[in-house]
Amino acid sequence: MTTIFQPAVSESTASTRVRTGGAVVRKAKLPDAVNIFDLVNSLSGDGTLLRRSYAEICENVRDFTVAESESGVFLGCGALHLYGPHLAEVRSIVVKPEAKGQGAGGRLLRSLLEEAEEQSVTAVCLFTRIPDFFFHFGFRVVDRTTLPDKIYKDCQTCPRLYACDEVAMVRGPLPKIAVLGPSRIAQPELVKLQTGTVAGK
Ligand SMILES: CC(C)(COP(=O)(O)OP(=O)(O)OC[C@H]1O[C@@H](n2cnc3c(N)ncnc32)[C@H](O)[C@@H]1OP(=O)(O)O)[C@@H](O)C(=O)NCCC(=O)NCCS
């Protein structure tokens, strides 16, 4: 568990600001799934975040990190989805409206980036409408076709496929391999995936 602020906690009603003083970030547990589901889907209607079913959140709860006050009030969440050593994606990063602007979102993102580093992932990507927030953390805007894994995972089934208003961003070197679907990266630039050799073959 990582302490992100030391000042005293001051919780208040949802209509006023909640101080994230003393808040912590930690890996999510299954009982967090309901809070994650409610918060993520509160911003899925306008396309700010991808809609997640409760079942999907439970299944992938180990991807999630949550921020909460020292007294255990849920403040926000974010997830790191692993495609492989070449790429991970920050997904569903969100802080409750009343807790915004007090560092919780940044702490969540840093924690996810640390997790990517611990997993020896070389590049972290995301799609967003607020690139300015992610510039703070070393992301840069890239052409979305450089991220075939992301396109294959989400974009092809997205109703906004041909009207997407998000920008693709990456932190780290662009992946040279793809593990999902047909790659759009030019063949000569692709590095062959190491496949396990079967004894005797
Ligand atoms: C984006 C979001 C998670 C940021 O959380 P937050 O707790 O308000 O952010 P922080 O207080 O940790 O801010 C960290 C830094 O980013 C900056 N920042 C925060 N929101 C920003 C934004 N929308 N645009 C540009 N910079 C932003 C802050 O000024 C701060 O900069 P500083 O370190 O120089 O002071 C939050 O605004 C949110 O939940 N937004 C709605 C969901 C969303 O759009 N998620 C992204 C989907 S890809």
pLDDT for the residue 1: 45
Could you tell me the distance, in angstroms and rounded to a whole number, from the CA of residue 101 to the centre of ligand 1? Answer: 6
Residue 63 belongs to a domain with what CATH number?
A: 3.40.630.30
Chain segment 59-76, per-residue pLDDT in tens: 999 999 999 998 999 999
Tell me whether residue 136 is in a domain. yes
Number of separate domains in the chain? 1
Q: Which domain holds residue 150?
A: 18-189
Strand order in the sheet with 140-142: 2-3, 24-27, 64-68, 74-84, 87-95, 124-128, 167-171, 140-142
The segments of the chain whose pLDDT lies below 50 read 1-16, 189-191, 193-201
104 lines ligand 1 (CB under 6 A): yes
In a domain, 9, yes or no: no
Half-sphere exposure of 53 (CA within 13 A, CB side): 3
| d(CA 109, ligand 1 centre) in Å | 10
Residue 121 lies in a domain: yes
Among 102, 130, 139, 169, say which to mutate for ligand 1: greatest number of ligand atoms within 8 Å of CB: 130
Distance CA 147, CA 129 (A): 17
Whether 41 is covered by a domain: the verdict is yes
3-state secondary structure of 15: coil
Whether 134 is in a domain gets the answer yes
Two structure tokens written together for 59: 């299944």
Residue 2 located in a structural domain:
no
In tens, the pLDDT along 103-138 reads 999 999 999 999 999 999 999 999 999 999 999 999
Residue type (1 letter), 152: Y
Does a structural domain hold residue 200? no
pTM: 0.85
Give the atom of ligand 1 at the shortest distance from the alpha carbon of 90. Answer: 48
Look up residue 186 and give its amino acid: A
Residue 101 Cβ contacting ligand 1 at under 6 Å: yes
In the three-class reduction of DSSP (H, G, I as helix; E, B as strand; rest coil), residue 184 is classed as: coil
- Residue 60 CA, ligand 1 centroid: distance in Å: 24
The reported pLDDT for the residue numbered 15 is: 35
Cα–Cα distances (Å) from 111 to 1, 71, 93, 104, 189, in that order, read 10, 20, 12, 11, 31
